[in-house]
Structure 1
């Protein structure tokens, strides 16, 4: 049975066309809500078949870059990017790559340490009362001696997510979603057996106190202390993995 080249060629053409249209959207040559040419028009302009155009449009729709509408005023239109959907996509992809071993624990620890350090400092400068209350609420949850390990890990994630939110920087919040909401929960469940809950709660209380006082230096000092402890837990978890 011989090789079938046509599907590969068609897919390549569709990919090239979708990337061309995507680039036009990214660069602003195609505006939000602008109507694209019809399938026959696109096929004629690119010199390809309509099925190839349909495949290219499917690729763009999967990236949420375009939408279709039926009726007399229908057609295919450029979508306005949705930051929430993009963030969810980033979280899901990062979670998948992490569980597949794309990133090792030292890389994760280094990335989180350096990125969240910025967030802690900004939180001390910009934190609002609502953020302080959210952090207090999580600390109270963490003090419950009957709290399950998984629930403690989830509360820890929410506490640090609130620190990120307290920066009031939309770009940082978007970027850190992959670190805090995708990677941290996975790593927490790996290292929880080495967790000193009381020490973690004490550190959270001191971080909160420093942020509330607007003392960025103290907040970062305690955060780095917590990251050093976490690094030790990472090392123990990695050693346990290596010995299996």
Structure 2
């Protein structure tokens, strides 16, 4: 029988956090908590649920939770207070660094990642349209539905967004594309939201436009329109760049 969750942990469950897939446990838990913090699902100054509660929430072991919390501490998003628990920090990521230089460095990192995505992902979509299996299409459709449902209730949609791009790479039947996409997609979205958090800008929101673009790419891959899928993915990456940086001049 599963342990009953505390009120704090139930609140995170209501925001869309929950059990993660079998692979990369600590990374998945970290990603969920990271995006919950930078998107404001967990308020600055609030205490995270206990390790036991988080382990129950994500259906993982306590050592996995500790690994995820260690990464959040390295990001300076949370801090541990002896005898009290783990709290979301007010001024993350800038201690011991130049606050002015940090955003500039991150912007360069993000732009490099987007430039590489512009080269890789349209070709992934092209090859996925030619090689996709019924199982690939089913997985993409499930992720699109999860994305739309999470977004509709203000939940954490990152893992559905990321998963859709990863599913397209998987459909190419080329493991190298999958490996590159796992690095790029996570790295860019992580860097964007950390940057916006550092600069006290509202987090990047996944919009209806983004979901519509995903659905269009899916339909083109389903119809095996390889050229159309390539064009649609290129347009999606270009639009994603605009959406990521549209809340502040120069960002």
TM-score with structure 1 setting the length: 0.51
Structure scoring higher RCO (CA < 8 A, sep ≥ 6) equals 2
1:230 and 1:127 mapped to 2: Cα distance? Answer: 24
The 3-state SS of whatever aligns with 2:173 is coil
Alignment partner of 1:146 is 2:156? no
Which residue pairs with 1:227 in the alignment? 237
My pick for the range that moved more, 139-148 or 129-138, is 139-148
Structure number with larger C-alpha Rg: 1
1:188 and 1:112 mapped to 2: Cα distance? Answer: 17
Which residue pairs with 1:48 in the alignment? none
Taking structure 1 as reference, are residues 210 and 190 closer, same or farther at Cα in structure 2, changes over 3 Å only?
Answer: farther
Which residue pairs with 1:213 in the alignment? 223
The 3-state SS of whatever aligns with 1:168 is coil
The 3-state SS of whatever aligns with 1:104 is helix
Q: Give the alignment partner of residue 188 of structure 2, picking from 151, 176, 183.
A: 183
Map residues 78-117 of structure 1 onto 2, 5 A cutoff: 101=105, 103-117=108-122
TM-score with structure 2 setting the length: 0.50
My pick for the range that moved more, 202-211 or 220-229, is 220-229
Count how many residue pairs are aligned between Structure 1 and Structure 2: 143
Unaligned stretches of 5+ in structure 2?
Answer: 1-70, 76-92, 94-101, 197-201
The 3-state SS of whatever aligns with 1:143 is helix
RMSD over aligned CA atoms reads 2.8
Task: Tell me the CA shift for residue 172 of structure 1.
Answer: 2.0
1:139 and 1:133 mapped to 2: Cα distance? Answer: 10
Taking structure 1 as reference, are residues 188 and 161 closer, same or farther at Cα in structure 2, changes over 3 Å only?
Answer: farther
Structure (1/2) with the larger helix percentage: 1
Unaligned stretches of 5+ in structure 1?
Answer: 1-91
